[in-house]
Amino acid sequence: MIMVPETIAQVAPGVWVDTVQHKVNVTKSKRLLLLDKKGWELLGISHHQEVTLRRLHESGFIIIVQVAPRIWFLDVDSWEKHLDKVAEDPWFWEREGKNIEKYRGTYK
């Protein structure tokens, strides 16, 4: 029997891919962060910004996955990519620019 430390994930997200003979589970390398109290702390933002993160997702700036009712994961790679884009472009959120218009389009 192989002993696995508790700190290592024993289940990895993946997709089923059809091959000629059978289906194979191919693991996707994604870094996902559970958006719970600890997750919000790691992001360094308040859980009150949940609506803002969802709107960033709905407008295509980041990826959030809802795996069950009230269970959300943030794709860390998409978050870091977004932070890099914002840091590189001081006009990213220009008042009448395309990015702010995409974001505003998520108002409900």
Residue pair 102/60 in contact by the 8 Å Cβ criterion:
yes
Break the chain into its structural domains and give their ranges: 31-104
Q: How far apart are CA 63 and CA 31, in angstroms?
A: 11
73 within 8 A of 65, measured Cβ to Cβ: yes
**What is the model's pLDDT at position 18?**
53
Query: How far apart are alpha carbons 103 and 57 in whole angstroms?
Result: 9
pLDDT for position 62:
93
CA dihedral 36, 39, 44, 48 (to 10 degrees): -20
CA distance 64 to 73: 6
34, two tokens: 């559970």
Structure tokens at 15: 């997709």
In order along its 108 residues, the chain shows pLDDT tens digits of 444 445 544 455 555 555 555 554 444 557 889 999 899 888 888 888 888 999 999 999 999 988 889 889 998 889 999 999 999 999 999 988 999 999 998 775
